[in-house]
Amino acid sequence: SNPSLLILPGDGIGPEVMAEVRRIIDWFGARRGLTFDVSEDLVGGAAYDRHGTPLHDDTMARAQAVDAVLLGAVGGPRYDGLDFSVKPERGLLRLRKEMDLFANLRPAQCFDALADFSSLKREVVAGLDIMIVRELTSGIYFGEPRGIFEEGGERVGINTQRYTEREIDRVARAAFDLARKRGGRVCSMEKANVMESGILWREVVQAVRDADYTDIELSHMYADAGAMQLCRWPKQFDVILTDNLFGDLLSDAAAMLTGSLGMLPSASLGAPMANGRPKALYEPVHGSAPDIAGQGKANPIACILSFAMALRYSFDEGAEADRLEAAVEQVLAEGLRTPDLLGEDGRGPVSTRGMADAILVALDAS
């Protein structure tokens, strides 16, 4: 049977960019014989408007049953006054929590044509293609005890960095599996020099590699040195594996090596399902962009590249993912720019639809 894909366009520019991704998905069906069983449903404000909840139970059940979920964006000023329990963001949080998506994937990829967008020198970022795997469901943002306590006549704020072997083991496996579909190299980052959780992290990651991933080249780096290396020469990395806190910082920093929010895809992976594929949610990093919604100005590339990630990491279609990324690269090289990418060299601006049209033409020629 065909692989299944649940599409949740959401709010604001979500449906606008997702409409273009649908055309790309259809192209792969018609021209590459790669047919998906695509279903579509509501999330966020759109779901609240229809059902009074940002994620209906039926939608949650469908998300659990498909091979991959592709989400646009949720939220917007219309919903800002809603009760916390039904805010659009709650829909996304529920998906992440109930699917137990513990590995957050953030690529930092720099297309040559956009290298001048970076705050770093062109030669440092041009052609960059690295992936940060951040543990997402444990660590210092969740560990107990936490709180602000009274102690000796003053208050003390406490958070606890805490990782179990099982939590480290499963995110390490996610990173190694991913590395097999890329360059085969993983650099694990922690602070084993000053943190016990870092010592355990290093031990477990190394043990998983030695037991089941001897084909992967594993190195270890202290996270502060890693931050420095990421700015100095990011192309030395393939996959970076790190915890929740360090990953939060490193992935935001890495994202800005490469330029516009309209270009950045992401994914969150959970445990392997019965068919061996990981539970997976793919989404652009950007939000619903109410300031440009409904105007045809949104850059669809972040969402299109999120689908490319799904091809590579959920469906083992690395060559087709390459094909799609090459088409994006080509239209950028030709100078096509949505308004968010407009530099001096741009031919644009083109609309959301215009950008997708050009990518489809490039795909046709591929």
φ, ψ (nearest 5 deg) of residue 171 = -75, -30
Stretch that binds Mg ion, among 149-157, 250-258, 282-290, 300-308 (CB under 5 A): 250-258
Query: Which of positions 233-262 make contact with ligand NAI (CB under 6 A)?
Result: 261-262
Tokens coding 252: 């935001």
Whether the Cβ atoms of residue 281 and residue 121 lie closer than 8 Å to each other: no
Q: Which of 65, 95, 40 is nearest to 275 (CA)?
A: 65
Whether 191 sits among the annotated catalytic residues: the reply is yes
**Is 248 a known active-site residue?**
yes
Catalytic residue selected from 129, 141, 316, 357:
141
The answer to the question of whether 252 is labelled as a binding residue is: yes
Which of 19-27, 157-165, 246-254, 293-301 is the region at the interface with Mg ion (rule: CB under 5 A)?
246-254
Examine the residue annotation and report whether 177 is marked as an active-site residue of this protein.
no
| 141 tagged catalytic | yes
**Who's near 148: CB < 8 A, 6+ residues apart?**
155, 156, 157, 158
19 vs 124 by CB, closer to ligand NAI: 19
Q: How far is CA 89 from CA 45, 133, 143, in A?
A: 9, 22, 23
CB of 260 to Mg ion, least distance (A): 17
Q: Give the alpha-carbon dihedral of 360, 39, 180, 234, to 10 degrees.
A: 60
Are 103 and 173 in contact, with CB atoms under 8 Å apart? no
Strands (E), 214-342: 217-222, 239-242, 265-272, 278-284
Choice between 251 and 338, CB closer to Mg ion: 251
Does residue 287 belong to the site contacting ligand NAI (CB under 6 A)? yes
Residue 75 partner contact from Mg ion, ligand NAI, none using kind-dependent CB cut-offs of 5 to 8 Å: ligand NAI
CB-based burial label for 150 (10 Å; 0-12, 13-18, 19+):
exposed
Number of residues that bind ligand NAI (CB under 6 A): 21
356 binds ligand NAI, rule: CB under 6 A:
no
279 is catalytic: no
Q: Does position 248 bind Mg ion by CB under 5 A?
A: yes
**Which residue's CB is nearer to ligand NAI, number 35 or number 295?**
295
Helix, strand or coil for residue 230?
Answer: helix
CA distance 187 to 217: 8
Binding window for ligand NAI (CB under 6 A); candidates: 68-76, 99-107, 142-150, 242-250: 68-76
Which residues make beta-bridge pairs with 106?
132
- Site for Mg ion (CB under 5 A): how many residues? 2
235 annotated as a binding-site residue: no
Sign of CA dihedral 91, 22, 311, 105: negative
**252 interacts with, out of ligand NAI, Mg ion, none, CB within 5 to 8 A per kind:** Mg ion
Footprint on this chain of ligand NAI (rule: CB under 6 A): 13, 73-76, 89, 92, 261-262, 283, 286-292, 298-299, 302, 340
Annotated binding-site members for substrate:
96, 106, 134, 224
Active site residues: 141, 191, 224, 248, 252
